[in-house]
Structure 1
Amino acid sequence: MNNEITFLHNHWMIPIVVCCLIIWGIFIWKEWDHFSKPKFWIRSLVASLAILTMGILALQPALPIHRKNAKVVILTGDYKKSTLDSLKNQYRNITTIIYQENQTILKGIYTSDTIFVIGNGLASYDFWQLENQKVTYINGTTPSGIIKYTYNQKATVGEQLVFKGIYNNAKKGAQLFLEEPSGDVIDSVTLQTDKNWKFQLSATLKIAGNYTYKITEKDSLGTLLSKDPIPIQVAKRKSLRILIVNDFPTFETKYLKNYLSEKGHKVLVKTKITKGKYKFEYFNTDRIPIGGFTEKNLAPYDLVILDALTAKNLSRNSRVALETVIRTKGLGLFIQPDESLFRTNNNLLTFDVSREKSTEVRLYSETSAKVSKYPFTIQQGLMVQPIHIAANESMVSGCKHIGKGKVSTTLLKETYELVLNGKSATYQRIWSDIINKIGKKDNKAINWDGGEVPIRKDEPYEFTLRTFIPNPDVITENGYQISMARNIDVPNLWKGKIYPKKTGWNHIRTPQDTTTVLNYYVTDTTTWQSNSKYNRIQANQRNFETSLFKDTKTTSPLAPVNPIGLYVFLICCLGYLWLAPKLS
């Protein structure tokens, strides 16, 4: 243990030493006339001691506090009394602390032994208080209710709001309801008593705006148990300019062009009939044919759809032009697959796949329609993002970034059969997911990222924005400015943090670009309680799971030395220096 005295103001050492030397020099110069007399040496000694004492007081000496080798238990929400009793029986002198969020935890307690945290655990913003401590976390029981959920927080008109969740320890006969902002029920499900039971609710989004749907839980008698918000932002549907080029007519393209035109997109279809002859079809657009692929011809389009044969047979100039527009203009490219596509070596078209036996897949739920697919799975990669994931977690549709744009394909085939079998909703959802994912995006001066939900009142909420504006000013709806921190490695990435004070919809904006704002929904601690408790348990397990293996050697806390003795000694020295000349 370190018993050496130290100074709390070590960083002042050099200025204080310089000042002391200057004062000492002035005193010697003043007393130099008495150099040959004994009183010179006595006064110089007393003055040196006085100056040294003042320097020590300015540096503020401190000694390490001797730590007690004791154990501490921190009680957090929903802790088990049996766990606490067991710890008290095992460790008679254990210290008990009741945890309060955002308050000092180990106030006045210093221990080099184990700290036990029992219950749901600490809030993530309080983890720093137990850094470099030896912590054992004993979690409580996994809460009953919706412990995990996910849904599309941003969507466009006509898309589906799809809410997927996991319910733990459901009561028999209980039901979940998906309610519109008006309170009308649009979907429901009866809970199964299985542990960690998966469920799904959905609704069609019809009008643009910021809305708060709700998940309501009722027991078998219809008694309301909980009502939790689902904030979602619905944007207006953007009309895309889409070019479809096929080497031969297909039913897949026939139904796809009808779907796209019904959704208001401007579609040009170019289909090869015989060698050198093409058929052109126009939907919601002017009748202007397109020749070969050049940067000029491709620049107006937001999305190009090619069948695999056309994509592989592109001339070198056409392929270079296509890749250039994708890379620099943000054009989206979708390849309608055939089995040969997954064996091509073309860098632009290549997706890493592995063969599997399955030739059918369900995409959205266990009850959704099966869709035919090629016997492959797309491999996850650093630049490959999933669009559709099967129940076995394999990627069915994916896209990869090429500069500003994206190239995409799917393992699904003959999706038009869904329409023939009366599954139009599934068909539309598949293609809506693909089109919205890879279509050219608007170039905005500022792009906001609001982070995860739920956002709670008076708790830290972090958000990021990407912009090339040198010093963006970010303000709340009340006009308060938010301090932003720039990322060291990514100059156009900024991060901010606020503590929301008002529940409901809020927004953050910047006066330098009034076209975009960050809308976010704030709730209170009474909502999504099961999910909040579960997430806290998981966060504590991740944070403290390696604490027993960390190097827990820490420097002892310091306590300032009582300065009364030094002040008394300093007054005596100064008193002598003041009184001695008068007596002589």
Structure 2
Amino acid sequence: MTLGALQVPGDPRQILGLILVAAMLLAGLLALVYRRPQRRHLAARIVMTIIAVIALVLMALQPRWSARARSQNGLLLTPGAPLDHAQALQATLNAQTFLLATADTATWASSLDDFKVIPDAAYLKRHHADIDTLHVAGHGLADYDWEALAGINIIHHAGPLAAGIKHMRWQRNLVAGQRLHIRGVLAPSQHKEGWLYLSDPGGVIDSLEIDSSRETPFQFSLAPRDTGRFLYEMYFNAPAEKAMWREEFEVIVTPPPVLHILVIEAAPNFETAYLMRWLAKQNHAVASRTTISRERHRFAFLNHAKVELMRLAPSLLKRYDLLLIDGRALSELSARERSRLSETITQNGLGVLLMPDEIVLNREQQNFSGHEFFLNFKLAAFPDLEERLVKPKWPDGGDDATTALPAEPFEIAYNRNLKPLIKDEHDRILAAAHRRGRGWIALQLVRDSYRWILAGASAHYAAYWSHLLAEISRSPSEEKWELPETKPLIVDQPLQVRLATGASFPIGTIATENGETDSLYLRQDAGETTHWWGTYWPRESGWHKIATPNGVSQWFYVYEKHAWQTWQETEKVAATERYVWRQENHVKQSEESTQTQTAAIPLLIFQSENRSSSSSLKLRPQKWNSHKSRRLFCGSSFLWARQVRNFILRLKSQTSKS
């Protein structure tokens, strides 16, 4: 309960109730005083009674005064702060100056006066807890450093970024045949024009002319030349000068896994014919059964031994990683075969890709058992179209310049259980998958992707089908490591990794090229029981390999502290601005907590009876707590009662003498 600068802790209803009880007590005591036959000193007795009751009420309520606190400022200099700007802030703020211990500390020390070098930001909380407002000059701090400064108001004075790469995204892990797509943004520099070069271990492979006087986006697209672990390099050359900066980034290219694919179709189809030939060239094993007429079938085996395909037995289905089937062929299977197929999908992880036909697209014709399991896709039709031309896009793939392909006049409606795989140029879903146990069932609406081959765009055809097959085929392992895709990994910076596994209490092992190993203990995700998270702090640069006891491994590269300098500066500026933005959303609460302080009002009425208690109360009012207050209230109540009794006895004795 607040009345201006006066604050009374507690529920207002309880406070009013206590005041009402005190008023009734006061009224009773005043009535007793007034009815006394001896009228001498009546006014004094009334005043003393009122004072005593008020003192008791104040003891119970513990009122406090709020006053504006004196703000304690500090100045933290981080890398990136211009020297003249730092000197101006130091002179203007007249605050204690702190300097983070970095490689540039000696340079700063020769130019600044009256500063203190600190090892990290948490040092301020440990040794200078009185600072409530901190001015930060330069690029600021990383996210994990701001956690140590929670509760301190921050004012950021950002410094300029060095020339280099602000942001860059690329695929760290590729399968042979996939294209490497690199997209990023360059920070501006003092040079207006120059060339941005991209090279692999064999030399320069591409370049771009760049106007570096402003923030400039860039992108490259290329096909890696071989499989293995490589360090690519990107650097910028200004006219008549050497490279202004160089950055390395890792790319890991692995051979595509050999898939065993079963194709069942109700009629011959050019799409599947081209697809089977392409799959065979990629060394995949393909077996197909195509219905030619009633009770007549054609069989084909590419990189595959001949087997019996007329009956879909469990032992046959377990051999394959992916099944391509159209709606009519699915409906012509027996109910027992569909049951076996669904069991293989849910229990063994078989992937299924549905090829569009009249049964897949028309719900009225889906009258066979198990259609809800296989065909659980909601389609939105384009009623005025028989087909539509689309330019398929997928993560790190697709291009507006590619040849448009015909697609069914539908789009797949999104829901939270759906995994989109391919979209068109208008962000409509062309291919998507549903999870079924350990496997996937996917539907794609593109009709004649082989037109890319006829148009000379075989690379787009390969990338399209490589992406689809990789997303839905049976995984060779139930475990998979996932590392960040949007940032380089730096020495002494936290690396968040995730492991998808069905194992209980998995433990990761991280090995360096020097043979040193570390154990990584993981915590289970609160929402998904098969996901486990861990944090690793790399201590040295170079290639690292993270693995599980089952042998599932993933390579990654860690860069030196001084690498990717512009990116590190950008991340620190962004983290600092996020912290400041969160503070601005709670500015009122921050002002109340940092600009005002409250102190208990000293109650001096009992000083004569308990001098030590009252003196400690006067000097350290902030040390009160609820337990001390209750003990002091009870003791003081007893002293008050004794003092009132003695006063009454003295009055009686004086009255009797008179």
- Asked if TM exceeds 0.5, the reply is yes
Matched, 1:530 2:566: yes
Is contact 1:333-1:438 (8 Å) kept?
yes
1:109-258 correspondence to structure 2 within 5 Å: 109-111=128-130, 113-137=132-156, 139-140=158-159, 145-169=164-188, 173-182=193-202, 184-191=203-210, 197-221=216-240, 223-258=242-277
- State the SS of the aligned residue for 2:552: strand
CA distance in 2, matches of 1:430, 1:310: 24
Larger helix share, 1 or 2: 2
Is contact 2:321-2:474 (8 Å) kept?
yes
AA matched with 1:230: F
Matched, 1:289 2:338: no
1:179-578 correspondence to structure 2 within 5 Å: 179-182=199-202, 184-191=203-210, 197-221=216-240, 223-311=242-330, 315-338=334-357, 341=360, 344=363, 346-352=372-378, 359-361=389-391, 363=393, 364=397, 366=399, 368-374=401-407, 377-389=411-423, 393-443=427-477, 447-452=480-485, 453-467=487-501, 468=503, 470=505, 472=507, 474=509, 476-477=511-512, 478-482=515-519, 484-487=521-524, 489=526, 493-509=531-547, 512-513=549-550, 515-550=551-586, 551-552=589-590, 553=593
CA distance in 1, matches of 2:471, 2:158: 40
Is contact 1:482-1:497 (8 Å) kept?
no
CA distance in 1, matches of 2:244, 2:445: 43
CA distance in 2, matches of 1:246, 1:222: 63
1:41 maps to none
- State the SS of the aligned residue for 2:124: coil
**For residues 213 and 354 of structure 1, do their structure 2 counterparts lie closer, same or farther at Cα, with a shift above 3 Å needed?**
farther
**Structure 1 residue 112, shift from structure 2 partner:** 7.0
Is contact 2:247-2:564 (8 Å) kept?
yes
CA distance in 2, matches of 1:129, 1:110: 12
- State the SS of the aligned residue for 2:80: coil
**For residues 109 and 502 of structure 1, do their structure 2 counterparts lie closer, same or farther at Cα, with a shift above 3 Å needed?**
closer
- State the SS of the aligned residue for 2:183: strand
AA matched with 1:417: R
Matched, 1:70 2:96: no
**For residues 428 and 538 of structure 1, do their structure 2 counterparts lie closer, same or farther at Cα, with a shift above 3 Å needed?**
same
Of residues 78-87 and 200-209 in structure 1, the stretch that sits farther from structure 2 once superposed is 78-87
**For residues 412 and 523 of structure 1, do their structure 2 counterparts lie closer, same or farther at Cα, with a shift above 3 Å needed?**
same
2:59 maps to none
**For residues 530 and 340 of structure 1, do their structure 2 counterparts lie closer, same or farther at Cα, with a shift above 3 Å needed?**
farther
Is contact 1:474-1:508 (8 Å) kept?
yes
**For residues 199 and 389 of structure 1, do their structure 2 counterparts lie closer, same or farther at Cα, with a shift above 3 Å needed?**
farther
CA distance in 1, matches of 2:499, 2:540: 22
**Structure 1 residue 69, shift from structure 2 partner:** 1.4
Is contact 1:70-1:112 (8 Å) kept?
yes
Is contact 1:267-1:284 (8 Å) kept?
yes
**For residues 97 and 264 of structure 1, do their structure 2 counterparts lie closer, same or farther at Cα, with a shift above 3 Å needed?**
same
CA distance in 1, matches of 2:414, 2:75: 44
Is contact 2:266-2:328 (8 Å) kept?
yes
CA distance in 1, matches of 2:573, 2:413: 32
**For residues 164 and 387 of structure 1, do their structure 2 counterparts lie closer, same or farther at Cα, with a shift above 3 Å needed?**
farther
1:57 maps to none
1:29 maps to none
**For residues 150 and 373 of structure 1, do their structure 2 counterparts lie closer, same or farther at Cα, with a shift above 3 Å needed?**
farther
Is contact 2:381-2:410 (8 Å) kept?
yes
**Structure 1 residue 193, shift from structure 2 partner:** 6.5
**For residues 132 and 353 of structure 1, do their structure 2 counterparts lie closer, same or farther at Cα, with a shift above 3 Å needed?**
farther
**Structure 1 residue 103, shift from structure 2 partner:** 4.2
2:10 maps to none
**For residues 311 and 167 of structure 1, do their structure 2 counterparts lie closer, same or farther at Cα, with a shift above 3 Å needed?**
farther
CA deviations on 1:166-196 (whole Å, 9 max, x unpaired) are 34548655333332223x2233333367966
Is contact 2:180-2:223 (8 Å) kept?
yes
Give the TM-score normalised by structure 2.
Answer: 0.65
AA matched with 1:359: L
**For residues 471 and 281 of structure 1, do their structure 2 counterparts lie closer, same or farther at Cα, with a shift above 3 Å needed?**
closer
Give the TM-score normalised by structure 1.
Answer: 0.72
**Structure 1 residue 419, shift from structure 2 partner:** 0.8
CA deviations on 1:391-447 (whole Å, 9 max, x unpaired) are 555544333322211222334331111111111111111111111222111135x54
CA distance in 1, matches of 2:381, 2:208: 36
Is contact 1:68-1:112 (8 Å) kept?
no
**Structure 1 residue 314, shift from structure 2 partner:** 5.0
- State the SS of the aligned residue for 1:177: strand
CA distance in 2, matches of 1:68, 1:96: 18
Identity within the alignment, %: 23
1:25-64 correspondence to structure 2 within 5 Å: none
2:630 maps to none
2:22 maps to none
**For residues 109 and 349 of structure 1, do their structure 2 counterparts lie closer, same or farther at Cα, with a shift above 3 Å needed?**
same
Unaligned ranges ≥5, structure 1: 2-65, 557-584
CA deviations on 1:548-577 (whole Å, 9 max, x unpaired) are 334444899xxxxxxxxxxxxxxxxxxxxx
Is contact 1:68-1:111 (8 Å) kept?
no
**For residues 133 and 471 of structure 1, do their structure 2 counterparts lie closer, same or farther at Cα, with a shift above 3 Å needed?**
same
**For residues 102 and 249 of structure 1, do their structure 2 counterparts lie closer, same or farther at Cα, with a shift above 3 Å needed?**
farther
- State the SS of the aligned residue for 1:459: coil
Query: Which has more radius of gyration?
Result: 2
1:582 maps to none
AA matched with 1:264: N
**Structure 1 residue 275, shift from structure 2 partner:** 2.4
**Structure 1 residue 309, shift from structure 2 partner:** 4.0
1:39 maps to none
AA matched with 1:77: P
**Structure 1 residue 329, shift from structure 2 partner:** 0.7
**For residues 417 and 366 of structure 1, do their structure 2 counterparts lie closer, same or farther at Cα, with a shift above 3 Å needed?**
closer
Is contact 1:137-1:545 (8 Å) kept?
no
- State the SS of the aligned residue for 1:158: coil
1:579 maps to none
CA distance in 2, matches of 1:102, 1:430: 49
AA matched with 2:581: E
Higher relative contact order (CA 8 A, sep 6+): 1
- State the SS of the aligned residue for 2:562: coil
**Structure 1 residue 269, shift from structure 2 partner:** 1.9
**For residues 242 and 69 of structure 1, do their structure 2 counterparts lie closer, same or farther at Cα, with a shift above 3 Å needed?**
same
**For residues 92 and 528 of structure 1, do their structure 2 counterparts lie closer, same or farther at Cα, with a shift above 3 Å needed?**
closer
AA matched with 1:231: E
Unaligned ranges ≥5, structure 2: 6-67, 102-118, 367-371, 598-658
Is contact 2:540-2:558 (8 Å) kept?
yes
**For residues 396 and 102 of structure 1, do their structure 2 counterparts lie closer, same or farther at Cα, with a shift above 3 Å needed?**
farther
CA deviations on 1:58-116 (whole Å, 9 max, x unpaired) are xxxxxxxx974134443433347898799779x75455444457443526434575444
Q: How big is the alpha-carbon RMSD for the aligned residues of Structure 1 and Structure 2?
A: 3.7
CA distance in 2, matches of 1:224, 1:339: 60
Is contact 1:67-1:111 (8 Å) kept?
no
CA distance in 1, matches of 2:428, 2:210: 27
- State the SS of the aligned residue for 2:374: coil
Is contact 1:99-1:105 (8 Å) kept?
no
